[in-house]
Amino acid sequence: MKYRSEIIGVGSFVPPQVFTNFDLEKMLDTTDEWIQQRTGIVQRHWVDAQACTTDLALEASLLAIKNAGIDKSEIDMIIFATLTPDHDFPGSGCFLQAKLGLPEITALDIRQQCTGFLYGLSIADKFIQSGSHKNILLVGAEIHSKGLDKTPNGRNISVLFGDGAGAVIVSARESTNAVSESKIIATKLYADGAFAKELWLPAPGSALGDERINHQLLEEGLHYPQMNGKTVFVHATKRMSECLLKICVENKVDVNDVDLFLFHQANLRINSKVAEMLSISESKIFNTIQNYGNTTAATIPLGMDDAIKAGVLKKGMLVASAAFGSGFTWASALWRQ
């Protein structure tokens, strides 16, 4: 039997605490106008002190399971994409597994940052097509707020990130080869480690000498994210445009035939530039960055859930996604909802 992968359930969760740009003005020596002009972000959600990444993931996962109409016992694999794990080890997939009460099933963490969800979607699709698994829970979840420099020194980066989680259930279905069937059509994954230090978190790490972390590293602020913004922007627009066009050409899909684009939400200017480069109507792009900021691995499933709730994403639509992030990594996906 030949299997296809179908996304049968979507869920998302963001913490209730909202920080607007005006809230950040008080701590980061910035302005609402500056943030909106350069990023498109109006607000973001940040957790309280007690929350951890798998708490957010659990809420999103339970909603995805409910919306899929399956019992959680039917899940046979967890793929967890995050760069902000609860702990260095073990993987957050194991902590989530315990919270869901699903012992013994496969649990896998991946670290592809902003591209994590699409990497995870590709992995889930391959496992489904192999026939080894039937219902895979794919989660992207992040808590950035606990790792940001909330002083004027960190304003260029700290304004960008929010906390949140998104989850989907990817399930096996018998393939009929019908053009209209709901399925993951294709995924394309890329990376170029030559640019790893253009967007990274230097510390803690085993490459730093005798200790993974020490007072000097902390005093230098190396435990906060570092980014070359101009380089990231140039590469993001170029790579996202390239991989979107390539996946469409390889699957004989005209870009204009795509019903909805769900791009990673890093910067509204990046998504607008990609639309311009490929002559995509911005009315076909569903953006959520204004409400949540960059939630890295969570942005695409979070946006997918919002699009469904808003009646924008409907069954049968042809959907394309692209993402770019640290690594550098980038990816695209094409599916029929």
Catalytic residue numbers?
Answer: 114, 264, 294
Amino acid at 66: K
Which residues are within 8 A (CB) of 164 and not within 5 positions of it... i.e. 6 or more apart? 12, 13, 14, 15, 45, 56, 141, 142, 292, 295, 298, 302
Q: Give the torsion through C-alpha atoms of 130, 189, 226, 111, to 10 deg.
A: 10
- Residue pair 185/337 in contact (Cβ under 8 Å)? The answer is no
> Considering all CA atoms of the chain, what is the largest pairwise distance in Å, rounded to the nearest integer?
61
Instruction: Identify the bridge partners of residue 136 per DSSP, sorted by sequence position.
Output: 77, 170
> Taking Cα atoms as reference points, which of 6, 262, 302 lies closest to residue 136?
6
| CA–CA gap between residue 296 and residue 40 (Å, rounded) | 16
Amino acid at 286: F
| CA–CA gap between residue 63 and residue 174 (Å, rounded) | 25
Angle between helices 32-39 and 21-28 (to 10 degrees): 110
Instruction: Identify the bridge partners of residue 19 per DSSP, sorted by sequence position.
Output: 44
HSE-up of residue 113 (Cα within 13 Å, Cβ side): 17
Beta strands at 43-45 and 18-20: parallel, antiparallel or unpaired: antiparallel
